């Protein structure tokens, strides 16, 4: 069988769905390479900053690794802005949706909320509420997101920071995204 014969899912057979399941597993297995390719594309975006979005991401992951964070946190730091290119208005939710099956729930929440928490550093300059993050003060992972933004996001725009290359982090991405865990 090279393809299924149905044109409506309700008409598929067990044999066809077993066939599709094999293809789905192969597609999921190839996810890390697609994500790394998407990450590389962030190297083309400077957009007024002193570093590209890729370099920002590499600095974030390099700092997390230097702090002794585990691989899930390092990969979350590396990919926290992966949605900038395709979902600039909700890049945080994009990153969280991508990584939610692969990282612990706390990190998925941090990724989802980091855009709002980052507003602490800049929103008051634009006439907005810098304390938007306070709505989450009672959340058990509030401080984790504060810490993530302070240590691995707001400070990662230094053109002289010695970040590690994608090739250093690629094996971690492959391990973390190997198969959904959560």
Which phi and psi angles does 131 have, rounded to 5°? Answer: -100, 25
Contact 42, 57 (CB under 8 A): yes
> In percent, how much of the chain has pLDDT > 70?
99
- For the chain, how many structural domains are there in total? 1
Average pLDDT over every residue of 149-153: 98
Please report whether residue 24 resides in a domain: no
Mean pLDDT over the full length of the chain? 96
Number of H helices, E strands in the chain: 8, 0
> What is the reported pLDDT for 1?
81
Which phi and psi angles does 159 have, rounded to 5°? Answer: -65, -15
Please report whether residue 19 resides in a domain: no
Per-residue pLDDT at 106 exceeds 90 = yes
Please report whether residue 63 resides in a domain: yes
Query: Chain-centre distance of CA 156, in angstroms?
Result: 15
Span 19-50, pLDDT tens digits: 999 999 999 999 999 999 999 999 976 778 99
Ramachandran sector of residue 47 (left: φ over 0; alpha: ψ -120 to 50; beta: rest):
left
The range of the structural domain enclosing residue 37 comes to: 31-176
Average pLDDT over every residue of 61-87: 97
Q: With the CA atoms of 95, 97, 102 and 106 taken in that order, what torsion angle do they form, in degrees rounded to the nearest 10?
A: 80
Please report whether residue 124 resides in a domain: yes
Angle, CA 113 vertex, CA 109 and CA 43 arms, to 5°: 105
Please report whether residue 165 resides in a domain: yes
Please report whether residue 147 resides in a domain: yes
> What is the reported pLDDT for 44?
78
Please report whether residue 46 resides in a domain: yes
What CATH number does the domain containing 66 carry? 1.10.3210.10
Nearest to 34 by CA among 74, 3, 79, 67: 79
Count of alpha carbons within 13 angstroms of residue 76, beta-carbon side:
31
Distance (Å, whole) CA 120 – CA 132: 7
């Amino acid at each position: 069988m090279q393809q299924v014969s149905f044109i409506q899912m309700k008409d598929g057979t067990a044999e066809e769905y077993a066939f599709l399941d094999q293809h789905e597993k192969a597609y999921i297995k190839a996810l890390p390479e697609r994500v790394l390719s998407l990450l590389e594309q962030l190297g083309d975006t400077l957009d007024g900053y002193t570093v590209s979005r890729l370099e920002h991401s590499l600095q974030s992951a390099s700092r997390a690794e230097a702090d002794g964070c585990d691989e899930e946190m390092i990969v979350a730091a590396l990919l926290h802005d992966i949605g900038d290119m395709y979902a600039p208005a909700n890049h945080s939710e994009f990153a969280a949706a991508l990584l939610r099956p692969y990282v612990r729930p706390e990190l998925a929440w941090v990724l989802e909320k980091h855009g709002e928490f980052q507003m602490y550093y800049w929103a008051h300059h634009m006439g907005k509420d810098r304390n938007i993050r306070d709505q989450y003060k009672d959340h058990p992972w509030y401080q984790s997101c504060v810490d993530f933004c302070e240590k691995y996001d707001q400070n990662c725009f230094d053109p002289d920071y010695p970040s590690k290359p994608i090739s250093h982090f690629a094996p971690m991405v492959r391990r973390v995204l190997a198969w959904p865990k959560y």
